[in-house]
């Protein structure tokens, strides 16, 4: 399947939705509650949106859970986010299995405890043959990290003879990104009002349709996701072509 499929009419459902789940802290602060309660409320939204994307038969849902820059937060908040991540993983794994959801983590795992790394590997292994939604959780992820690790892997493979010496092109890089087995996101959503990418999938978002909403992540729901999808369906994706060409395209050129 091509990374950017020109044959799909714009009014179809996105194959891959990527979300920056932002606004948990402000949601809590508006209620005079500690930020941690915002993160807990955010986990409930994750459950809701994962379930709904399953119903909509979305192929891939990617959620930005913790960026490589989020280590800069107060230690107490980082600790809470890590324990929430661990407990959610433990409590949700059976439901994911039951719902035929394949779980995949992207990001630099080296920073996590051995126990957490094992749990992540185990959760992926337990769901690897599932065929409904692929749920990608980006933890300690950065788009710049992803491009660097892909380049490093390519260089290492060339050095030890696994890959012939060749110029790096987009396809070769694609094959070494942490998303190599996935289509690129069709729809990017950022909740919480900020209009920036914050080092999410920098390479993969090259031709993604962007949608920004002021809704804070704990308030995001099926209806607000529908609004984003309707906005997506109203866009004309040209991938560099003219509008007239798009009207006549029947096969990738």
Where in the sequence numbering do the catalytic residues fall?
22, 70
Closer to ligand IPE by Cβ: residue 106 or 154: 106
Q: Which of 14, 21, 22, 213 binds Mg ion (CB under 5 A)?
A: 22
The reply on whether position 186 binds Mg ion by CB under 5 A is no
Task: Say if CB 239 and CB 64 are below 8 A apart.
Answer: no
Closer to ligand IPE by Cβ: residue 104 or 176: 104
The reply on whether position 88 binds ligand IPE by CB under 6 A is no
The reply on whether position 198 binds ligand IPE by CB under 6 A is yes
Closer to Mg ion by Cβ: residue 57 or 71: 71
Place of tokens 């990104």: 177
Report how many residues bind Mg ion under the rule CB under 5 A: 1
Q: Least separation, in Å, of the C-beta of 78 and Mg ion?
A: 14
Q: Which of 207, 146, 208, 148 is nearest to 180 (CA)?
A: 146
Stretch that binds ligand IPE, among 18-26, 120-128, 154-162, 238-246 (CB under 6 A): 18-26
The reply on whether position 76 binds ligand IPE by CB under 6 A is no
Q: Least separation, in Å, of the C-beta of 36 and Mg ion?
A: 14
Structure token pair of residue 46: 């994750």
Task: Say if CB 97 and CB 127 are below 8 A apart.
Answer: yes
CA distance 140 to 137: 10
Stretch that binds Mg ion, among 22-30, 136-144, 195-203, 239-247 (CB under 5 A): 22-30
Report how many residues bind ligand IPE under the rule CB under 6 A: 17
Q: Which of 184, 181, 223, 224 is nearest to 200 (CA)?
A: 184
Any bridge partners for residue 61, and if so which?
Answer: 17, 135
DSSP 71: G
The reply on whether position 192 binds ligand IPE by CB under 6 A is yes
Kind of pairing between the strands at 187-190 and 16-20: parallel
CA distance 236 to 211: 14
Q: Least separation, in Å, of the C-beta of 210 and Mg ion?
A: 17
Q: Least separation, in Å, of the C-beta of 81 and Mg ion?
A: 12
Residue nearest to ligand IPE (CB): 25
Phi then psi for residue 33, to 5 deg, are -115, 160
Q: Least separation, in Å, of the C-beta of 28 and ligand IPE?
A: 8
Closer to Mg ion by Cβ: residue 22 or 146: 22
Burial environment of residue 186 by CB neighbours within 10 A (0 to 12, 13 to 18, 19 or more)? buried
DSSP 175: T
105 binds, among ligand IPE, Mg ion, none (CB under 5 to 8 A by kind): none
Helix (H, G, I), strand (E, B) or coil at 36: helix
- Give me the residues that bind ligand IPE (CB under 6 A), please: 20-26, 64-67, 70, 81, 192, 194, 196, 198
- Give me the residues that bind Mg ion (CB under 5 A), please: 22
């Amino acid at each position: 399947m091509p990374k950017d499929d020109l044959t799909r009419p714009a009014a179809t459902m996105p194959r891959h939705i990527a979300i920056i789940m932002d606004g948990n802290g402000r949601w809590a602060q508006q209620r005079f509650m500690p930020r941690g309660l915002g993160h807990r409320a955010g986990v409930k939204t994750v459950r809701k949106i994962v379930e709904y994307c399953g119903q909509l038969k979305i192929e891939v849902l990617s959620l930005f859970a913790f960026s490589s820059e989020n280590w800069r937060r107060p230690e107490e908040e980082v600790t809470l986010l890590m324990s929430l991540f661990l407990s959610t993983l433990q409590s949700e794994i059976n439901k994911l299995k039951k719902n035929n959801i394949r779980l995949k983590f992207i990001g630099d795992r080296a920073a996590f405890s051995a126990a957490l790394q094992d749990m992540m590997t185990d959760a992926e292994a337990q769901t690897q043959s599932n065929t409904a939604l692929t749920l990608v959780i980006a933890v300690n992820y950065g788009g710049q990290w992803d491009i660097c690790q892909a380049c490093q892997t390519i260089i290492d493979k060339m050095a030890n003879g696994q890959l012939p010496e060749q110029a790096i092109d987009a396809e070769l890089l694609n094959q070494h990104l942490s998303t190599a087995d996935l289509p690129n996101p069709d729809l990017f959503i950022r909740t919480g009002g900020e209009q920036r990418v914050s080092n999410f999938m920098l390479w993969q978002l090259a031709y993604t349709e962007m949608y920004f909403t002021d809704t804070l992540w704990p308030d995001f729901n099926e209806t607000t996701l529908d609004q984003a999808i309707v906005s997506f369906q109203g866009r004309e994706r040209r991938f560099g072509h003219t509008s007239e060409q798009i009207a006549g395209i029947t096969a990738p050129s």
